[in-house]
Structure 1
Amino acid sequence: MSGSTTEFSASQTPLPADAGHGSKTSFWALTLGSVGIVYGDIGTSPLYALKESLHAAAGGGHAPTRDMVFGVVSLILWALILIVTLKYVLLVMRADNEGEGGTPSLVALAQRVLGHSGSFVIVLGMVGIALFYGDAIITPAISVLSAVEGLKLVTPAFEPYVLPLSLAILIGLFAVQSHGTARVATFFGPITAFWFVVMALGGLGHLADDLSILAAFNPAYGISFLLNHGTAGLLALGAVFLAVTGAEALYADMGHFGRSPIRAAWFGLILPALALNYLGQGAMLLAHPERIENPFFLLYPSWALLPMVLLATVATVIASQAVITGTFSITQQAMQLGLLPRMRVLRTSETEKGQIYIPRVNGWLLVAVVFLVVLFKSSSALAAAYGIAVTGDMVITAVLLFVVAWKAWRWSPVLAAAIIAPFLLIELVFLSANALKLLHGGWVPLTIGAALVTAMWTWRRGSALVAEEIHRRRVPLSNFTHMAETGSVLRAPGTAMFLTGSPGDTPGALMHNVKHNHVLHARNVILHVVTEDLPRVPQADRVTVKPLSDVFTCVTVRFGFMELPDLPRALAAAGFDAGNLSYFLTRRVLVPSPETGMPVWQDRLYIAMARAATDASRYFRIPVDRAVEIGARIDI
């Protein structure tokens, strides 16, 4: 019996991967919706990506040379072409799991084709999920800081207020999460689309400053820059990667908007707007290298600075909202896949399946984001911490994609390697460049990731040991049912549901009920909950009923890893009288033991996570007045 459920960002009900082939109205509505949710993160990168790359190349506050500007702009353009366009838009988005995308979906897809030999896939999934958390913590901090820092250009008098104003915006953003985002999300698409149009116009207005910047489309400039600038070139390359942060969202949100609308938005608006903005910043810096302080906001006339700061702040809040929602989603998926303990998951919308809220995760994120803002104090300082988490996640995606292409798509391993290896090589180069920033902030996502991988591995290993110990103690169900039916125990009216993680064994709650209360209900259901490696289970396959005798029945309820498990609703849909059921669960008292397979410190960590986990009754939506818990001690 496993954990919880979820989706990755989402203000839309999940759709098939090729959604958008129906009416033109729905297609363009989905396309506009994807602009707000999918592209919010990558759409805020121009605020800091080129500036930080040139700062790294030129060394602090020095003005960049012409070859630096050409080289960095060329690298950014080709990063957008190779990583986002070719890898994600055209290749990775083919790897849909029943229409869904994202790291957990890719892990489930790879594990399905590898079977029991795919343990390393789970480890890769843990690392990918952990790195996503690192990204999710840094994105709101750096995005909001970079937008609010534009106030310093309006007047230096605003400088003392940048940090407190950024903190106020972030605290307010996390404070409203419990109310859901369904209503305001309808404005995300139009506002973000307007943001991209304004970015494109700002860049276009400065192309005439030096039209030679168009030569940056020649990749030779980027390659020459890297070859001739040594360590500074590698440091700049690490900052260049900031231009493609958010690319994972294209794949992660595929189930909400469909492959075709996301692709249409990229080619029709996002890529042209980003390219024009970066080219415009580059052309302006060729003519006015002294504007390196904040080239994005200096694209606009002085009268437009304050409106642009306000618009940028709104855009970064939208980008942060998408990341926060995505964190709730990936947490739910990790719980369902058995990688994290159960946590309370609340729906914030009756109509939008992706609209969920996890109070504990929201609190942790808020504390972590505020800590980073206070610790680093500026977007430039945070930029050093940003790239490692995203590059690591992309490397993992490339490795898992190779497995899927080889095993699921039936490509030859040579063909799969020939197509995917170049992307993997590029991302490994970016990862190496970002590793140079390890002591300047790169330790943050790695520390967060290491802690989360340790927690996930401990939870998975500890849960397996608990299951083994329970299985070792239990009586086979067939033996118990025979003894119970022929023995002299009282029969109570009604139907009792006994949850179990192993349908072949007698549930502990059932044994203790008969042993101590000497009572057996008229009808007893051995209830087994299964999380499938599919995003959602069709309603027709949700519940399987297998009669064992006149008194005992085995029922299996299946949920997808992106579904919120609701046992009473599933059983009612299968014909059970939900109002007349009693649920019996085993409450385990865990005790650390040096003899059970894990170090004692890991035992204690697992026990602490288990105690903090949400009760199974609450997690499975079982009414409190119909749940009976019976204790059992287990050494671990």
Structure 2
Amino acid sequence: MNSSGSSKDSGVTEMSSEVAPKNPEQSMEQVSEELHGKRIFRRFDSLDLESSTVPGRYGHGSKGAGLSVILNLAFQSIGIVYGDIGTSPRYVYASTFSNGIKHNDDILGVLSLIFYTLTLIPLVKYVFIVLQANDNGEGGTFALYSLICRYAKIGLIPNQQVEDQEVSNFQLELPSSRQRIASMVKAKLENSQFAKFFLLFATMLGTSMVIGDGVLTPCMSVLSAVGGIRRATSAITEDVIVWISVAILILLFMVQRLGTDKVGYSFAPIICVWFAFIGRIGLFNFIKYDPTVIKAINPQYNVQYFQRNKKEAWVSLGGTVLVITGAEALFADVGHFTVRSIQISMCSVTYPALILAYAGQAAFLCKHNHLVKDTFFESVPEPLYWPMFLVAILASIVASQAMISGTFSIVQQSLSLGCFPRVKIVHTSAKHEGQVYILEVNYLLMLACVGVTLAFRSTEKIGNAYGIAVVFVMTLTSAFLVLNMIMIWKSHILLVISYVLVIGSVELLYLSSVFYKFDQGGYLPLAFSTVLMTIMYIWNDVHRRKYFYELDNKVSLGKLKEIASDTNLCRIPGLAMFYSELVRGIPPLFKHYVENVPALHSVLVFVSIKSLPISKVPVEERFLFRRVEPIDQNVFRCVVRYGYTDVHSEHEPFEKILVERLKEFIINDLWFTRSKLSNDENDDDDLDVGFVNGEDENNDVKHVDEEKLEEELEREIEALDQALHAGIVHLIGENEVVAGKGAGIGKRFLINQAFDFLKKNWRQTENVFDIPQKRMLKVGMTYEL
């Protein structure tokens, strides 16, 4: 780690991981026995120590899961991934033919559109292309952005370290003869500040749109399902339907804090029953009413539909696009399953059931044009109406639950980039890592859903808003994917152009259509995005300003030595942890503390919390330590690295793990010093130095050095144990940020009003990391930015 005030280069040497100490209790004699006969290979930095002991350090893939595991995951994915796209048949035809059906051939034209849209976007684009762009199994907008961050230095905060590339699943470089184009694109991104800001902006926009989708999906799903009761009785008014939907939504959000672990396995059977119902009913209607709708496979009906209706056909695409709502979930939720399992479930269950459902409804509409407003429930055979109504309600709850859980995960990822105010992430399942709950976000989503349902009251208006959110996110995903294809996959330029011309053109056509209904509800997701983007921008901007302030005012190495060696400072028993996000150097908080409190604990650890552009960091590779000079002062630097999906576990206290890793580091650091002595001895033997008369003298010197190392190890471990016995104190900066003198009115408003408001109304650091209140000390300091 190249940071001033960090430490010396220990000058240690690399050895095979088989001789690394297996635990802190391993004695130096045991290490010596393991070292005997081993050969030293090359020199490397001590911060590489932890990562070098991890098996499979340079491996970038896991072993493929067995067939039974894949099939089990494929079954489970049906309940989590396809709830949204699977419930779309309830409202697609009603939204597409908002002005009624004028010609039966229009039904064939729309069915043709539906068939090719389902085939091109969810199946070809997501299942067979986008899923391959996962980040070590994780998907979504953040996964694509993080992949790009790893291959190009586009991060706006300069906290990159060489050691980050040694994390076992960090590097994914793919050699290719098309390196020149990839290098050119990479250089353009790295050298353009505008490109860096634009990519971050696009990521934040995509995130905001997905969160907006998380608001609209429950409203659309529940309202359309409850509306099906109108077929049974005309006495049910629109007001009753709306209030029943609101009650279901409130109940759904109230049970979120319990987690989805207990009900998770019920999702897959419900959606499987749903697909069985819509598939068989679709096949029944197809055979009964008009089997000739199969000719819609001919794309000519597509062309004729546009020739016949012109502008109206283009406008109707805003309804047709609802067939692919939830397609983004195929990519976003891949982290809970595997690529192969989602491919199997999509191709064998979801895609056939949806095609049959839409074909059956088209056949029904050919004979009942006037029932287009309630196509779904009107096309259900009478004996199956009530079972279908019940399953529809359950399926809408499942679809809503999937998007709510996805929103929690997205907010968690936003925190890793410093793009969202601090919130407490609660891990609701001991079995499934991805199941998290965020109190603040849950209640904000509930209020937004209830407000949208009461304000819009119909699926047609909500559908206009829904379409914009869906297509916008898909278009952003395609843009990131193209960068991924060029820079990381190094795909042939003809393949990239083909993707843009085929998939990109379809998405841009849909995007142009949904914006036409901007004033009919389409403004809603953009309004949500504007609010969320404002919050994200304010927090991220001030977050970066604070980091650069600490970087510019960090404590120099000379100043740190001076402070640590000052005899006027009282060294009191105990271990103090100074928290900071600064990776390179000692934060100014330390100097401010010493100037006001002339006392230091016997052991000091400067803890830097850092997020890597990677989904997960193995626990074994999470902590990086380094000594800080002077060595006898027991001062250490610690960089704690998390991935954007890592959850801070409450079951394993942070301080306990840190102390265990610190002990390992002290022993391992001495082990490397011992290795250097062994290496020096081997070098002397090769040169025949002291081979005869000087051999005993050299051995005596080596024995004395080993004794000193043993004594030093015992002294440091004893000092650490005494400090732990005296107690641990967590020192956190209670930083007030104000605009500097001469700042403009915009900057003053951004920092003094907007950021201050967000900071006061969201959680503080100690609430996020579960720092014990009784052993926490806040150090006040004002940053003039």
Q: Which one of the candidate residues 519, 523, 546 is aligned to 1:443?
A: 523
SS for the counterpart of 1:621 is coil
Deviates more, 1:312-321 or 1:587-596: 587-596
SS for the counterpart of 1:350 is coil
SS for the counterpart of 1:183 is coil
Q: Does the Cα contact within 8 Å between 2:550 and 2:587 map onto a contact in 1? A: no
Alignment of 1:582 with 2:582, yes or no, is: no
Alignment of 1:36 with 2:74, yes or no, is: no
Structure 2 counterparts to residues 194-233 of structure 1, below 5 A: 194-208=273-287, 209-233=289-313
Alignment of 1:571 with 2:658, yes or no, is: yes
The aligned counterpart of 2:236 is 158
Amino acid at match of 1:155: T
SS for the counterpart of 1:523 is strand
Q: Which one of the candidate residues 491, 504, 510 is aligned to 1:430?
A: 510
Matches of 1:300 and 1:503 in 2, distance apart? 62
Structure 2 counterparts to residues 228-239 of structure 1, below 5 A: 228-239=308-319
Q: Does the Cα contact within 8 Å between 2:583 and 2:610 map onto a contact in 1? A: no
SS for the counterpart of 1:409 is coil
Q: Does the Cα contact within 8 Å between 2:365 and 2:375 map onto a contact in 1? A: yes
The aligned counterpart of 1:560 is 643
Q: 1:569 to 1:349 in 2, by over 3 A?
A: farther
The aligned counterpart of 1:76 is 114
Amino acid at match of 2:95: E
Deviations 1:24-48 (A, max 9, x none): 3322221111000000000110000
Alignment of 1:252 with 2:399, yes or no, is: no
Q: Which one of the candidate residues 418, 428, 431 is aligned to 1:351?
A: 431
Amino acid at match of 1:480: L
Structure 2 counterparts to residues 535-546 of structure 1, below 5 A: 535-546=615-626
The aligned counterpart of 1:460 is 540
Q: How far has the Cα of 1:420 moved from its partner?
A: 3.5
Q: Does the Cα contact within 8 Å between 2:553 and 2:587 map onto a contact in 1? A: no
Deviations 1:531-571 (A, max 9, x none): 11111112221111101122211111111110123533541
Q: 1:19 to 1:26 in 2, by over 3 A?
A: farther
Matches of 2:513 and 2:302 in 1, distance apart? 15
Q: Does the Cα contact within 8 Å between 1:20 and 1:27 map onto a contact in 2? A: no
Q: Does the Cα contact within 8 Å between 1:532 and 1:558 map onto a contact in 2? A: yes
Q: How far has the Cα of 1:412 moved from its partner?
A: 4.0
Q: How far has the Cα of 1:219 moved from its partner?
A: 1.8
Alignment of 1:173 with 2:211, yes or no, is: no
Structure 2 counterparts to residues 237-636 of structure 1, below 5 A: 237-548=317-628, 549-551=631-633, 552-565=635-648, 567-568=654-655, 570-575=657-662, 580-592=727-739, 595-596=742-743, 599-603=747-751, 604-636=753-785
Q: How far has the Cα of 1:190 moved from its partner?
A: 1.0
Matches of 1:272 and 1:30 in 2, distance apart? 19
Matches of 1:621 and 1:67 in 2, distance apart? 63
SS for the counterpart of 1:342 is coil
Matches of 1:596 and 1:136 in 2, distance apart? 38
Matches of 2:655 and 2:118 in 1, distance apart? 48
Q: How far has the Cα of 1:512 moved from its partner?
A: 2.9
Deviates more, 1:46-55 or 1:589-598: 589-598
Structure 1: tracts of 5 or more residues without a match: 1-15
SS for the counterpart of 2:97 is helix
Q: Which one of the candidate residues 120, 128, 131 is aligned to 2:206?
A: 128
Q: How far has the Cα of 1:480 moved from its partner?
A: 2.1
Matches of 1:98 and 1:185 in 2, distance apart? 24
Amino acid at match of 2:306: L
Q: How far has the Cα of 1:503 moved from its partner?
A: 3.8
Q: What is the number of residues matched between the two proteins?
A: 616
Deviations 1:303-349 (A, max 9, x none): 32222111101000000000000000000000012111211111212
SS for the counterpart of 2:424 is coil
TM-score normalized by the length of structure 1: 0.93
Q: Does the Cα contact within 8 Å between 1:154 and 1:302 map onto a contact in 2? A: no
Q: Does the Cα contact within 8 Å between 1:54 and 1:69 map onto a contact in 2? A: no
Q: How far has the Cα of 1:379 moved from its partner?
A: 1.1
The aligned counterpart of 1:8 is none
Q: How far has the Cα of 1:450 moved from its partner?
A: 1.8
Q: How far has the Cα of 1:504 moved from its partner?
A: 3.7
Q: Which one of the candidate residues 134, 141, 145 is aligned to 1:107?
A: 145
SS for the counterpart of 1:318 is helix
Q: 1:612 to 1:632 in 2, by over 3 A?
A: same
Matches of 1:440 and 1:257 in 2, distance apart? 38
TM-score normalized by the length of structure 2: 0.76
SS for the counterpart of 1:173 is helix
Amino acid at match of 1:486: D
The aligned counterpart of 1:4 is none
Matches of 2:63 and 2:361 in 1, distance apart? 35
Identity of counterpart residues, as a percentage?
31
The aligned counterpart of 2:89 is 46
What's the C-alpha RMSD, in Å, of the aligned pairs?
A: 2.0
